[in-house]
Structure 1
Amino acid sequence: MKPRNVSDQCYKQGLCTWGVNIGHRQLWTKLKRNREYKNYSQEMLELAVELVQNDKLSARAAARQFSIPKQTILNKVHNKHNKSVGCPPRLPAEEEAKIVKVLIAAANFGCSLTKLDLLVK
């Protein structure tokens, strides 16, 4: 059911948010958005960037061929937004690999280690 204050165009496109009063509370309803998010693989992106860097395809042609946004390809070509998302890892990769080896060796001997065992050692 469409609320009275929402236009037909907004309602059909799924872009509106509205509130419905239920007693003293307001219940917010959000409709589904039409935008698609990252529907390409990392390998396809790397291939598209490589073709653009080697001047075999333009960014626009690569975007059309691989169904990747043109600006995403250009950002990768010009090394923009190349930082990783989130906090940096607390353990270096080498230490993590050592811990994994110890855990696998302990499991092979039939001795399971707890989190406390790992923290003590």
Structure 2
Amino acid sequence: MPTIYRRKAGNRRYIDYTKEQLEQCLNDMRSQIRTQRAAAAKYKIPRSTIKNKLKNKHCNKPGHPTIFTIEEEQAFVAHVTELSEFGFPITDIDLKIII
């Protein structure tokens, strides 16, 4: 039976808000309905997060950019699948040569 994780009292909370709440908060800030403090209190989003989103900081995905596009990867998968259906299994070296 899997263990159900329960947050301990006093631990830091990570993203306790939805994307819709964040967008609504940012829209309120941009239309000057609320200040940063009021929006942070109402939507329960940290002010630093609101500031970063307004300045477009940390908007890239984490990690290195991918080399191949999704279409190229799907073409590799189709090629390997087709070869396996014909009875020619592919090794790691063969796949590297194909790519």
> In the comparison of the two structures, how many residue pairs are matched?
86
- Separation in 1, partners of 2:58, 2:52: 7
Identity of matched residues, %: 33
1:57 aligns with 2:34: yes
Q: Give 3-state SS (helix, strand or coil) of 2:29's partner.
A: helix
1:91 corresponds to:
68
Residue 120 of structure 1 deviates from its aligned partner by 5.1
Q: Deviations over 1:5-62 (max 9, x none)?
A: xxxxxxxxxxxxxxxxxxxxxxxxxxx8622222222332222222212223222222
For the pair shown, the structure with the greater C-alpha radius of gyration is: 1
For residues 52 and 115 of structure 1, the distance between their equivalents in structure 2, rounded to whole angstroms, comes to: 55
Q: Which residue of 1 aligns with 2:47?
A: 70
Stretches of structure 1 lacking an aligned partner (at least 5 in a row): 1-31
2:54 partner letter? V
Q: What TM-score do the two structures reach when normalised by structure 1?
A: 0.50
* 1:118 CA displacement: 5.1
Name the one with the larger strand percent: 1
Query: How far apart in 2 are the matches of 1:114 and 1:55?
Result: 60
Q: Aligned pair in 2 of structure 1 residues 91, 58: CA closer, same or farther (>3 Å)?
A: same
Higher RCO (Cα < 8 Å, 6 or more apart): 2
What is the alpha-carbon root mean square deviation over aligned residues?
Answer: 3.3
TM-score (norm. length: structure 2): 0.58
